[in-house]
Amino acid sequence: MTPAESERAPAATKGDSKVLNEAQAGHEPIGGADASASLSAKFAKDSAATRALAKEKLFNGDSVVELREAIRAKLVYALGKTPESARDRDWFAATALALRDRVIDACHEGTGGKVPEKRVYYLSLEFLIGRLLSDAMNNLRLVETTKLALKDLGVQLSEVEEAEPDAALGNGGLGRLAACFMESMASLSIPAIGYGIRYDHGIFRQSMEDGWQREAPETWLEEGNPWEFPRPESTYRIGFGGHVTMSANGDQIRRHWHPAETVNAVAYDIPVVGWRGKHVNQLRLWKAEADAPVELARFNGGDHVGAVAGRARAESISRVLYPSDSSAEGQELRLRQEYFFTSASLQDLVRRHLNERGDLRSLPDHAAIQLNDTHPAIAVPELMRILMEEHDFSYEDAWHITTNTLGYTNHTLLPEALETWPVDLMERLLPRHMQIIYLINWTHLEEQARQGKSDSAHVAAVSLIDESHGKRVRMGHLAFHGSRRVNGVSALHSELLKTTVFKPMHELEPDKILNKTNGITFRRWLHNANPELTALAVETVGEEVLDDPELLTGLADHADDPDFRKRYAAVRRVRKRKLAQVIVERTGISVDPSALFDVQIKRIHEYKRQLLNLIETVALYQAIKEAPHKDWTPRVKIFGGKAAPSYVQAKLIIKLANDIARTINDDADVAGRLKLVFLPNYSVSLAEAIIPAADLSEQISTAGMEASGTGNMKLALNGALTVGTLDGANIEIRDHVGADNIFIFGLDAVGVQARVGESAYAQRAIAASPRLAKALDAIGSGVFSPDERGRFGSLVDGVRYHDPYLISVDFDDYWRVQREIDAAWKRPATWWRAAILNTARMAWFSSDRSMREYAAEIWRVKVD
Ligand code: 26W
């Protein structure tokens, strides 16, 4: 935002608290607290009206009775409970089962049993889908019907919704993206199957113990999962280890893999219903089961424990999600998970293709397999193995089929996140695959030699095997080479792929890398998460906005209407009150809903720079204490996110946030101006509560390091203004919402690259910034950790002496833009105008747009 948009800030004189209150009044709902309560009721009515307007399919008295009886029958006959004894969790299961029936009806109506021309197979080790009830109700247009049916049974829908555990089968961005894509493909009627793992335990539950992160196992399946269908008839054998033999048939040599160990992959399907129930896809998750649950001979021989040891080993494959989303830890169990789900998925889709079409030669015409990062990259040799070993294809034909069926999406450039597997581990666990990888690599390097490119530097750069520190398979190179198209997830990221990690590969095939900027599903992140804002949009631009987000643009015409601004601001106010309640319930901290809610929610990682935000918080705290009577803009800094359990520095950052919170929240000198809250156990459902209540969205990664970001899109769509670097999709968000409606600061990716080449940049930056030096001194000397003064020494020294994430270099500009934001908040008319323009101009970031682009340019699937 530029100061040019000047609108005079209400004059606030030092020490005049009455004036300060008036300045804030622009952020109050019309009429204050009472009016806000009645507004809440009005919105509830509005959204009912909106939904009725939007023609809920079965919205009439009969269908309420019908659904009520269906829910009652599920409770009694499927769950064996009585309405009197049922807990919310039972009502949830009964409601989910009743709705699942309707999803299945929609599925049968939609496809009519026809074999689709082409299917998308989305292979992902993570699907962070969250709760499914509101998605299902909304997409079936049964929200009001369900609410009334439950009311008749004496139950409140909101309580039932709260009783659903999150399906948290993912770490962060990559897993949530897969969930948004699944919803969008169903809504666009793109025939698709998502393939992943049915983890018993999703991402760990985070709690705080004296400000430190503690992890506890997550138990979403404890009481079963009413959405899923077990499909024991779709079970595949997955081999590990063993040896390879050869046989000759004329001049044809064939190889046969004899695994030492096999594990069964059993399918569980979760239906994914699209918008208005027109189409239903499946999410097929694999559970690992032992071949023989008990080794009988051992059991009968008296070794009762040893007899079930094999079972425990086999089943450990789908036991738990790896909680690291930024460093490849290289553990054997992880490789077993990757191969397990990839092999099961490929066997399943090959079998389906053969049933439907009879001949695997036509696989590329009828199947597009998308690899979500390199986690399923073993698909390249596995599909080759299936084709050559089980279906007698020649190497050349198998390669043609493979490379015309696979696509690969890259989600990170961080070197520590790029997967490589030691060759000796691969040889031990997947001996046949290692042979095939060598064969692919040999063919690949022969082709280079044929083109006269056999100098050792070139060969080392394009080889699928990295020999620089022991021999390791580069999974990124393997996925790149085995795919028809490779894509990055934002414009900047896709360009950086071409100039950094994949530069040598890109030069060989310059048309292979495409950009497909990420998106989010508006059904979940606007319609379901923010029904009040949705009601306002429907009322303003018409109910068609539910089908076509481009119509949100029409809101821009009202951005200068003071009345509309008030209504838009009142919606935010309702959500901020709700969030304030969540905050006090979960942390005991009470916050003022009229303060600016400044939100940073995402995984805790050094490159995302929560530490920059915390240092700025300390500097602000110090500035307020020095001039307590200045007209500071009241702020609540809200943080949420999990740290990988083994990531020491990230866990220390959480502790720092909590230590700062304890100090400043109790300090009367800053009361009413500054608070800090760390909300524990960030999750999809907590995000749904935070995002509609956010005024400011922190997207402050070191430029060049955040591949895209998708939280940035959710927050901007809901009208939070972004403070961000020119990184990932922030750049495209700026292009859409307009440079006047976003706060950009700091070095860009080129600037970062130049600066890291210099020496002592951190020392110089700190010497030039007394404010930064003072904040670092406070943290480093134990002002926030009097019980252990040296606790944060390593964090502070990291910034002072090394600072690979350039916190020191970007600090002053960050401080500058934050003060600009303080000033902008005092001009409510301008603030709300910018917020409205954000909502109005974010339509392009719908994952429907992303999916249409993938369909047209990568998968070659028709979308009506
Ligand atoms: C092997 C360990 C590991 C696990 C997961 C390394 C890296 C990952 C993911 C690729 C990390 C991830 O989630 N990346 C995020 O993907 C989002 C969706 O494209 C982007 O929006 C985020 O910017 C990116 O960090």
Residue 177: CB within 6 Å of ligand 1? Answer: yes
**112 is a domain residue:** no
Structure tokens at 118: 């082409």
| Best probe residue, ligand 1, of 412, 501, 607 (max atoms within 8 Å of C-beta) | 412
Residue 417: CB within 6 Å of ligand 1? Answer: yes
- Give the Cα separation of 843 and 855 in Å (integer): 19
CB 564 within 8 A of CB 533: no
Atom of ligand 1 nearest to the CA of 417: 6
CB 791 within 8 A of CB 785: yes
More confident residue, 767 or 54: 767
Residue of the nearest CA to atom 9 in ligand 1? Answer: 325
Q: Which pLDDT score, from 0 to 100, does residue 13 have?
A: 32
Structure tokens at 296: 């009988």
- Give the Cα separation of 403 and 384 in Å (integer): 10
Provide the pLDDT confidence category of residue 53 given band limits of 50, 70 and 90.
very low
Residue 749: CB within 6 Å of ligand 1? Answer: no
- Give the Cα separation of 427 and 434 in Å (integer): 6
Q: At residue 52, does pLDDT exceed 70?
A: no
Nearest to 68 by CA among 134, 161, 154: 154
Q: Any idea which residues carry the catalytic annotation?
A: 411, 602-603, 608, 710, 714
Please work out, in degrees rounded to the nearest 5, the angle formed at the alpha carbon of residue 357 by the alpha carbons of 355 and 362. Answer: 130
pLDDT in tens, 309-332: 889 999 999 999 999 988 898 899
Residue 374: CB within 6 Å of ligand 1? Answer: no
**168 is a domain residue:** yes
Single-letter amino acid code for the residue at 328: A
| Best probe residue, ligand 1, of 125, 180, 321, 326 (max atoms within 8 Å of C-beta) | 326
- Give the Cα separation of 785 and 780 in Å (integer): 9
Residue 412: CB within 6 Å of ligand 1? Answer: yes
Q: How far is the CA of 690 from the centre of ligand 1 (A)?
A: 22
Provide the pLDDT confidence category of residue 110 given band limits of 50, 70 and 90.
low
Q: How far is the CA of 184 from the centre of ligand 1 (A)?
A: 20
More confident residue, 50 or 9: 50
Residue 228: CB within 6 Å of ligand 1? Answer: no
pLDDT in tens, 128-175: 999 999 999 999 999 999 999 999 999 999 999 999 999 999 999 999
Atom of ligand 1 nearest to the CA of 327: 2
Q: How far is the CA of 543 from the centre of ligand 1 (A)?
A: 35
Q: Tally Cβ neighbours within 10 Å of residue 436.
A: 21
**263 is a domain residue:** yes
Q: How far is the CA of 178 from the centre of ligand 1 (A)?
A: 11
Domain range spanning residue 752? Answer: 586-836
Number of domains in the chain: 2
Same domain, 486 and 635: no
- Give the Cα separation of 448 and 525 in Å (integer): 48
Question: To the nearest 10°, the Cα dihedral for 530, 614, 27, 25?
Answer: 160
Question: To the nearest 10°, the Cα dihedral for 403, 409, 413, 418?
Answer: -60
Same domain, 197 and 325: yes
Provide the pLDDT confidence category of residue 864 given band limits of 50, 70 and 90.
confident
Dmax (CA) of the chain: 96
Residues of the chain with pLDDT > 90, as a percent, come to 88
Residue of the nearest CA to atom 10 in ligand 1? Answer: 411
393 backbone dihedrals φ, ψ, rounded to 5°: -75, 150
Indicate the burial class of 161 (C-beta count within 10 angstroms; 0-12, 13-18, 19 or more). middle
Residue 28: CB within 6 Å of ligand 1? Answer: no
Residue 489: CB within 6 Å of ligand 1? Answer: yes
Residue 230, helix vs strand vs coil: strand
- Give the Cα separation of 577 and 539 in Å (integer): 23
Same domain, 513 and 605: no
pLDDT in tens, 736-771: 999 999 999 999 999 999 999 999 999 999 999 999
Residue 325, helix vs strand vs coil: coil
Structure tokens at 753: 């690259």
Mean pLDDT of 289-293: 90
**688 is a domain residue:** yes
- Give the Cα separation of 380 and 753 in Å (integer): 33
Q: 201: which strand partners?
A: 320
Provide the pLDDT confidence category of residue 1 given band limits of 50, 70 and 90.
very low
Print burial letters for 469-508: b (CB count within 10 Å at least 16), e (below 16).
Answer: eeebbbbbbbbbbbbbbbbbbbbbbbebbbeebbebbbeb
**55 is a domain residue:** no
Atom of ligand 1 nearest to the CA of 706: 23
Q: How far is the CA of 412 from the centre of ligand 1 (A)?
A: 6
Same domain, 597 and 499: no
Same domain, 492 and 618: no
Beta-strand pair 513-515/596-601: unpaired
CATH of the domain at 743: 3.40.50.2000
Q: Which pLDDT score, from 0 to 100, does residue 10 have?
A: 34
Residue 707: CB within 6 Å of ligand 1? Answer: yes
- Give the Cα separation of 83 and 831 in Å (integer): 49
Same domain, 622 and 718: yes
Indicate the burial class of 52 (C-beta count within 10 angstroms; 0-12, 13-18, 19 or more). exposed
Q: How far is the CA of 416 from the centre of ligand 1 (A)?
A: 12
Residue 674: CB within 6 Å of ligand 1? Answer: no
Please report where in the chains the tokens 């208005």 appear, as a residue.
276
Same domain, 127 and 237: yes
What is the full DSSP assignment across 798-838?
Answer: IIIII-TT-HHHHHHHHHHHHHHHHHHHT-HHHHHHHHHHH
**195 is a domain residue:** yes
Residue of the nearest CA to atom 5 in ligand 1? Answer: 325
Single-letter amino acid code for the residue at 594: S
Same domain, 511 and 602: no
pLDDT in tens, 176-205: 999 999 999 999 999 999 999 999 999 999
**407 is a domain residue:** yes
**48 is a domain residue:** no
Q: Which pLDDT score, from 0 to 100, does residue 252 have?
A: 83
